[in-house]
Amino acid sequence: MTEPTAVPAAGSVALITGGTGGFGRALAARLRDADVRVVLADLDSERARATATDLGAGFAVLDVTDHAANQRVVADVEAEFGRLDAVYLNAGIAGSGKVDALDVEEYLRVVAIDLHGVVYGADAARPALRRAGGGSIVVTASLAGLTPMPTDPAYSVAKAGAVAYVRSAAPVLAAEGITITTVCPGFADTAIIDPLRDAFTGAQFPVLTADEVAQAMVAAWTSGEPGAAYIVQAGVGVVRYQFKGVPSAKTSSGERALVPDALNPFPG
Ligand SMILES: NC(=O)c1ccc[n+]([C@@H]2O[C@H](COP(=O)([O-])OP(=O)(O)OC[C@H]3O[C@@H](n4cnc5c(N)ncnc54)[C@H](O)[C@@H]3O)[C@@H](O)[C@H]2O)c1
């Protein structure tokens, strides 16, 4: 991100899934201050509706595991505001810590929200972003998607999958004028860390504020590069993650073997 202080164009339209949670609220406040029109999509509750009202944002009921519901929400936003410029695929849960770390039911629940919810959300937003002349998809993954948490395999798989999806889908979307990026925060002060909060406090372990993450989420929209993963870490700030890559195949004469163009339509 070359211009971390850039702000989105006033009047543009953003949709945030999991929008009434910690990061969603902090992000909505920043976008509102930049005169962006914001819709928070989340599971339905009085608290969620009141949160959106307090932030001057619209509210859409959405369970991100429902593909058709993602499409309906995007259609409603477009119908109301005439366009959609940025989508934050941010809804997520961690493993509960209440069952065995390898519990299969919990694994399926976490992956349905944290990974399939991202895929459904990107698919639903894509035509609307194209109609707006291009736009941005920012996926909230996690450091757990880059370095797995030994206590939470389901979360680690889902977030690593989300990072892989962003990297793999980026060239296809970039060709359509859509920039997809991911923000990978370390532990941050939201409800999701409630079960761990005492341990962090006891160990004086530094956690991010939601606003530090929201700032990186805004920058990912305005200045993110296709397929990039932006780490946000307490005391460090925002750092673009450098993926290591893998060794290339070698020909029988020891030359680097290039992947055929048919498998790599966007070389370079
Ligand atoms: N806080 C952290 O330490 C941290 C670190 C790295 C990544 N993250 C990720 O950031 C994102 C936002 O989390 P947060 O920290 O704001 O936590 P949060 O618990 O405050 O917010 C999560 C939001 O997602 C919503 N949600 C859950 N299931 C949903 C579903 N099926 N459909 C729609 N919405 C659903 C919740 O209602 C809630 O509003 C998540 O993807 C989380 O995994 C959080």
* Residue 145 domain-assigned (yes or no): yes
Dig out the tokens for 152 from the structure: 């939470």
* Strand-strand pairing, 229-233 and 237-240: antiparallel
| Helix/strand/coil for 11 | coil
Confidence of residue 264 (pLDDT cuts 50, 70, 90): confident
Residue 2, pLDDT score: 45
Question: 48: domain range?
Answer: 13-263
What integer best gives the mean pLDDT of the chain?
Answer: 95
CB 27 within 8 Å of CB 209: no
CATH for 242: 3.40.50.720
In a domain, 3, yes or no: no
Q: Tell me if 1 is assigned to some domain.
A: no
Catalytic residue among 155, 165, 230, 241: 155
Judge whether 2 lies within some domain. no
Q: What pLDDT is stored for residue 267 in this prediction?
A: 60
- Is residue 4 in some structural domain? no
Digit-coded pLDDT (tens) for 70-114: 999 999 999 999 999 999 999 999 999 999 999 999 999 999 999
Examine residue 8 and state whether it is found in any structural domain, yes or no.
no
Whether residue 51 is contained in a domain is answered as yes
The tally of domains found in the chain comes to: 1
187-224 pLDDT per residue, tens = 999 999 999 999 999 999 999 999 999 999 999 999 99
Ligand 1: centre distance to CA 254 (Å): 48
175 Cα to the center of ligand 1, angstroms: 30
Per-residue pLDDT at 1: 59
pLDDT confidence bin for 6, thresholds 50/70/90: confident
Active site (annotated) includes residue 107: no
| 137 occurs within a structural domain | yes
Calpha distance 109→93 (Å, rounded):
9
